A and B are shown apart, each in its own frame.
Chain A
Amino acid sequence: QSALTQPPSASGSPGQSVTLSCTGSSSDVGGYQYVSWYQQHPGKAPKVLIYEVTKRPSGVPDRFSGSRSGNTASLTVSGLRAEDEADYYCSAYAGDNKYVFGSGTKVTVL
């Protein structure tokens, strides 16, 4: 299992939008409708923001949105806020009851 590829860092000013990418293969990101995104603040457990590519759990602001094109999934954070500064990980179902995570992107709010 290879980790999904994410850019190591991204940044934006408050109120701006930032889009994070997550690149895999047809065996994971592109092969199933099961891509999820997690937000992790330092020293904390991850929190699911997006599941099944585009769905938001209750309680997650609609500033967070997910999409996918081919083997690349994306998470867009609109209206950046200071509390959005965190690490973001994508995860994908890789078939045969296996799961793979991305390398993570650190988002900085300038």
Chain B
Amino acid sequence: QVQLQESGPGLVKPSDTLSLSCGVSGVSRVSFPNYHWSWIRQPPGQRLEWMASISYSGHTDYNPSFQSRVTISMDTSQSQFSLRLISVTAADTAVYFCARLNHLRFDVWGQGTVLTVSS
């Protein structure tokens, strides 16, 4: 069974850089390249927002709303991928989900990690 698990700091200060990781389990090395891996966030009481996706080969795609601040990366040896978001503000307070992108649908999600931006 495919499982994704996010990890993050929980609390960061304004202007800091946020780093999140997502561990992937239950996906064979043979099938891992078949998917893209994504980060999606949800501010409190608001809609889901796609942030970025990365392929096994390292090809990246970004939501233009974040493109100047966000970097997604993959460590295939560790079966995990990460998100880096610079210059965070209170508006970046959200639940951050990692998800598997399978044929243009997000079919497996992590449980989400809560991030609060506050001094």
Using a CB–CB cutoff of 8 Å, the interface residues on chain A facing chain B are 1, 3, 32, 34, 36, 38, 44-48, 51-52, 57, 89, 91, 93, 96-104
Q: Which residues of A contact B61 (CB under 8 A)?
A: 96-98
Closest 10 CB pairs of A and B: A97-B61, A51-B105, A45-B109, A34-B104, A99-B50, A101-B48, A36-B105, A93-B104, A104-B47, A103-B47
- Type the 1/0 row for B39-58, where 1 means its CB is closer than 8 Å to any CB of A: 01000000111100100000
In angstroms, Cα B110 to Cα A102, docked, is 20
CB contact list, B68-119 vs A, under 8 A? 97, 103-107, 109-112
Question: Is B63 part of the contact surface with A, judged by Cβ < 8 Å?
Answer: yes
In the complex, 23 of the A-B residue pairs with CB atoms within 8 angstroms, ordered by the A residue number, are A1-B64, A1-B65, A3-B47, A32-B104, A45-B111, A48-B105, A48-B107, A51-B107, A52-B103, A57-B107, A89-B47, A89-B48, A91-B50, A91-B105, A93-B104, A96-B61, A97-B61, A98-B61, A98-B64, A99-B50, A99-B53, A101-B47, A101-B48
- A46 adjacent to B64 (CB under 8 Å): no
Q: Which residue of A lies closest to B108 (CB)?
A: A48
In angstroms, Cα B65 to Cα A52, docked, is 25
Residue from B49, B50, B105 having most chain A Cβ neighbours under 10 A: B105
- A36 adjacent to B106 (CB under 8 Å): yes
Q: Which residues of A contact B104 (CB under 8 A)?
A: 32, 34, 36, 51-52, 93, 99
In angstroms, Cα B104 to Cα A32, docked, is 11
Q: Which residue of A lies closest to B101 (CB)?
A: A99
Q: Which residues of A contact B106 (CB under 8 A)?
A: 36, 38, 46, 48, 91
